[in-house]
Each structure stands twice: as structure tokens, then as C-alpha cells.
Structure 1
Amino acid sequence: MEKVVILGTGPAGLTAAIYLARANMEPLVIEGPEPGGQLTLTTEVENFPGFSDGIMGPELMDNMRKQAERFGATFKRGWVTDAAVDERPFTLSIDGIGEVTTQSLIISTGASAKLLEIPGEKENIGKGVSTCATCDGFFFRDKKVIIVGGGDSAMEEANFLTKFASEVQIVHRRNELRASKIMQDRAKNNEKITWALNQTPVEMVSDGMKIAGLKVKDNDTGKEEILDTDGIFVAIGHNPNTEFLKGKLNMDEKGYLLVEPGTTNTNIQGVFACGDVQDQKYRQAITAAGTGCMAAMDAEKYIEGETIMDWSQSL
């Protein structure tokens, strides 16, 4: 039986692995189909402390993994299909591995950005296509960019991008936005923001090296045109990777795991959540790493027998 199993190898999971391995807890880390998380889809990372010249996303995650391995963390590749957390020890069913039992469990399976699923999108992520304005906005200084989306997050990212870009065009497939009035007003009052409403994106166009335009279709006339751009930011939301936990752990209406404020405790003692799987506000590598540290320390105290207050009744 394992002392602790960590699900996920993004910044949160790998930070938890580093801390637990250094504490001689010998964590078992389960990698999903995308080892390294969303940072492996990012080119240069310039806002992670400690790298004055920046670092490539995949390299940063590889360094964190090697650091965890050096202290004794074990990594296995598999896909968790079920987690029995109603009895102790906990039992995980993992494709490619089988059943694994553990005293404690850290869930850091992250969240996946929703994509438009149109031609030219996935193959150009990191080549002008991004799902994180905070992460990549700096690279589009004095350039023209497009934001696809109509909710609060799209308006917020559009306003943020005007700090760098010369023009930000918001493309939305409806005439009306889903964003709150205050967020709409902020965007509409921003001189750098232009609008392409009632337009459905149909293809992302590349010049062979990077994004050059977004092909859209007018929903009324059916006419297609290509909007010239240097970058496209997709801001249509995220899906937390918690499908296998529904009905087992408390989560909000979007599927994000709920944790006791100030901790990583879920409503099941011995099960902890960190990173984007419980954070729909910040979604940064550094904040994910911070909660990974918290989860490791919470799990270590649990394994050592310290009592965790039952807070689930307050949810």
C-alpha cells in the first residue's frame, strides 16, 4: 500500500511530489495522457520566479519532474478511471497499471481549456494560438490580436491584452455577449478594442510558421472572410478534469473541487486537491505550485496521524 498517491504532473502535482519525496514519504505520481500539464503547450515562460531570461514550458516541467525523482518520487503512466474514497485505504482503478491502494490521495489533475475544435487550432498552440492572456500577452507587444469569446473571462483578457497589443478584436458567434454589464462596459470603453460579433470562427490560418488570420463566417449572410491577426486567444472557459470524481467529492456546479479555505482538504479526510482542479480564478503555474506545497504538507500531517477537522458539514 502506498503512503500517498499524486494524480497529475503539472506544477501542483510535481511540487507536491518534491515536498513529499524530501519528507521520505515516497510518493507515487500517476501521469495522465498529458504529462506536465498545460505548461507543456506553452513556449517560453517568463513569469515563473527564478528564471530571469525565461524558460521553455516543457523544460520547466521536465526540471521539476527530475527534481522530484532525485528525492525518491516514483512515476507511472496511466489513466484513472475510478477512485473509491468512501473506504480506507483508498483504492484507485488505473488503466495501464491496475488497482492501487493508498493511505492518502492528492488530486492535481488540473483543468483543460475549452477549444473551438476548428482546423488550424491545436497545431498552432504556442505558435500564435493561446488560451492564457496572462501567460502570453507580453509576446504580442504592439501587435494585433483576436480574442474569441463573449463571457467575463474574454472581456477581462481583452482588457488585459490592450496593455501590450496595438489592437484587440473580440470575435463572438452571437450578437449579444454573455459577460456581465460592467465587464462589457469596460471593454466597450476601451479604445483599443474592436468588435466582430455574430461571427463564427471556422478556421485558424497560418503562414506556415505562425498564425496569420482567423477565418470567420457571418451568421446572417453566410459570407466568409479572414481577419488578419498576429495572435488568437481562445477564451471560452475551462473544464476541470474531475469527471471520475463526480458523486465522490464535493465540487461546485462547474466541477471544480471544493477545499476548506486556507487548506487543500476536500470533504474526505485524507484526500487533498491542489492546482487548477480547485482554482478557477488564478490558474497560474506559480499559484498551482504553491497549493501543491500546501497539499504535500497537509498530506504529511494526515499520514503522521494529526487530526483533520471535519469541515464538510459547512459546505
Structure 2
Amino acid sequence: MDRQVDLVIIGAGPAGMAAALYGSRAGLSTVMIDASAPGGKLLKTYQIENYPGVGTVSGPDLAMQMYQQSIAFGAEFLYGEVVEVTQDKKVRLADGTVLEAKAVIIGTGAREKEMGIPNEAEAIGHGESFCAVCDGAFFRNKDVVVIGGGNSALEEAQFLTRFASHVTIVIRRDVFRGSVKAQKEVEENEKISVIYHHIPKEVVLTDGKVSGIVLENVQTKEQQTLACQGIFPFIGQVPETSFVKDLGILNERGYVIANEQLETAVKGIYVAGDCKEKDLRQVVTATADGVIAATNAFHAITGM
């Protein structure tokens, strides 16, 4: 099935939903595509305190509010996996659907990075998880390990204390990268301990399930095995941009490069959110990207 629309938005996270709101409200026929439920990483975020004007809100609640508003002016949500975007802005889906667009916004975000150590592939889904909000309840009264020292790691560790007997945070440095507030909360939580100057080297499995993790001291190279039933790595992200790898718009890390108007080197193809090359990745910056990209797409399409 081939269709012609004004604006195709790939990704229904905060960036995509903001773009859908602005594009459709401006009168563009707008289709927003995602292979998962609308919300992106909001669906995996327990609590948000820094989205202006909202106050403290759960990620899923904010996602639902954004989604309802994003389709209020006629934007269509289409469930599907995009496998290719061409130079002439044809968007191909895995089911054979092709959308011909006047403008495309890439807002697919980024997925969590794996540790890349022995036994990890077997451990994923059997004790290793990338979402404490999704899977935390499965680790009730168990010992778990969080890998990473940024805000995500600290916040997820805090959430896990609602279920786990104990949470150990492992970082390779001697200081956290997360906010002062998050650090203070972790330090004051009796159910959390921290192992500094260590990196994960191997997942230990027993009967196909996580039973521990081998850690290495980055200074002495000495190793220790820490018993645990769950591992949660929060060590960075990988952009979800493989479907545009042939367009010449990605940097060496796979992030999309764009100008101040958020337009890529391919005229009519824009980017918004976490898959864009930039320094700060937050919900509020993603929505701002979506607004800028959709507004510039509108001007390009209409000539206004």
C-alpha cells in the first residue's frame, strides 16, 4: 500500500509526539510511526520532576498526556517498523507499506548500550534488564547490581530499592556523573552501596539465570565475583538510526547530523530527539527538537 502525506514522523517518543502536535495543528497531513507503544523512554521512566509546568509525574502518565494531545488535531499513529528512508523521502515499512512524504522527521531515539561481556546475551531476559520500572518487581527481596554512574543509573537504583533487598552500584570512576540531588539520595539510602573503580567483566549464570557478576578493579586488575540475581546496566545509548545508514547523514557513532533548523544534508529530512548529535538529551530538549523540526518542515512544504 502506497500513500502520500505531507509529514511522516518516525518515532513516537517525546520528540515525535511534539512534532506530530505541531505538524498536524499547522494543517499538515501527518503520520507518526512507531514499532512500540507511544511514549518512548517515558514508558520506562518511573518519575519525572523536571518537565516545566507539570511538576512530579510518572513517565507513563506524561506519555499518555502527550500522546492524546499529539493526535488531537488529526495526526495519525501508525504501528510499524521503518526499514528504509530514501533520498526522495519514501518511507518503507517492514510490512511493505510505503509512505511518500513531502518531509520526514527522524525521532527514533536511542536504545540502551549492552556491557559486551561474556554470558551477557544469555543473561538478557534472565536476570539482566535495561528497565527497572518494567522489571523491578521481578527482583523483590533479591540482590541486584546497577552498572553506571549517570543520572539514569542513580535514579534506577533508587527505584529498585522498592523491591530489592539490596542494590549495589558499580562505577569505573571515583565520582558519579549524575546530579547532586540524585547522588545525595543514593548516599542517604541504606539499601544502596557503591563499588568504585570497577568494571564488569563477565556475567555468572546458574541454570541459565543470573547468579553473579565478575568485577575487575581498573587500577589493580584484581577481580572479584559479586553474588546477585539481577543486573541493570545503564552505561549509555546507541542511536536507532540503521534505517537511514545509506543517506550520508550519520556521524561515526550513528547519530544524525543536522543544522540549526534540524534539517539533515538531505533536503526535507529532519531529525529530533535523542538520535540527533547533541550534548544534552532530556525530555524537554526532545520536545523542543520536535517543535523546531515540524515548524521548519511546515515552512518548507508550504513556502510560508
TM-score, normalised by the number of residues in structure 2: 0.74
Asked if 1:47 corresponds to 2:40, the answer is no
Task: Return 5+ residue gaps in structure 2 as ranges.
Answer: 137-143
SS at match of 2:185: coil
Question: What's the counterpart of residue 245 of structure 1?
Answer: 244
How far residue 276 of structure 1 moved from its aligned partner, in angstroms, is 0.3
Q: Which amino acid aligns with 1:271?
A: I
Instruction: State the partner residue of 1:99.
Output: 98
Residue 19 (structure 1) aligns with? 22
Q: Secondary structure at the match of 1:216?
A: strand
Cα distance in 2, alignment partners of residues 146 and 284 from structure 1: 26
* TM-superposed deviation, 1:195: 2.1
Secondary structure of the residue aligned to 2:69 is helix
- Residue 58 of structure 1 corresponds to which residue in structure 2? 60
Q: Which residue of 2 aligns with 1:226?
A: 227
Question: Which moves more between the two structures, 35-44 or 113-122?
Answer: 113-122
* Displacement of 1:43: 1.7
Task: Give 1:282's aligned residue.
Answer: 280
Instruction: Report the Cα offset of residue 248 of structure 1.
Output: 0.5
The AA in structure 2 aligned to 1:40 is: L
Return the offset for 1:93: 1.1
Bigger shift: 271-280 or 29-38?
29-38
Distance in 1, matches of 2:242 and 2:181, equals 31
- 1:198-277 to structure 2, matched below 5 A, reads 199-200=200-201, 202=203, 215-217=212-214, 224-226=225-227, 234-260=233-259, 262-277=260-275
What residue identity is the alignment partner of 1:202?
A: V
Please give the residue correspondences for 1:271-310 in structure 2 after superposition, counting only pairs within 5 Å: 271-305=269-303
Q: CA RMSD in A?
A: 3.6
Residues 197/264 of structure 1: CA separation in 2 closer, same or farther (3 Å cut)? same
Taking the TM superposition and a 5 Å limit, the aligned residue runs for 1:50-89 are: 50-52=53-55, 54-85=56-87, 87=88
Are the counterparts in 2 of residues 133 and 233 from structure 1 also a CA contact under 8 Å? no
| Equivalent residues, number | 266
Query: Hey, what does 2:140 align to over in structure 1?
Result: none
Q: How far is the alpha carbon of 1:9 from its aligned partner?
A: 0.3
Q: 1:134 aligns with which of 145, 151, 161?
A: 151
Matched-pair identity in %: 29
Match of 1:182 in 2: none
TM-score, normalised via structure 1 length: 0.72
Specify the code of the residue in structure 2 equivalent to 1:254. Answer: R
1:145/1:232 contact within 8 Å kept: no
Opposite residue 102 of structure 1, the aligned amino acid is A
For the structure 1 residues 44 and 166, does the alpha-carbon distance in structure 2 shift closer, same or farther, using more than 3 Å as the test? Answer: same
1:19-56, Cα deviation, whole Å (9 max, x unpaired): 1111111211111235321111112222222222x222
Contact conserved, 1:42 with 1:58, CA < 8 A, in 2? Answer: yes
1:200 corresponds to which letter in structure 2?
K
Distance 1:198 1:123 in 2: 17
Partner SS state of residue 184, structure 2? coil
C-alpha contact (below 8 Å) 2:149/2:176 kept by paired residues: no
Partners of 2:98 and 2:173 in 1: how far apart?
A: 41
Q: Supply the distance in 1 between the matched residues of 2:69 and 2:262 (Cα, whole angstroms).
A: 23
Counterpart for residue 166 of structure 1: 187
CA contact (8 A) 2:152 2:234 kept: no
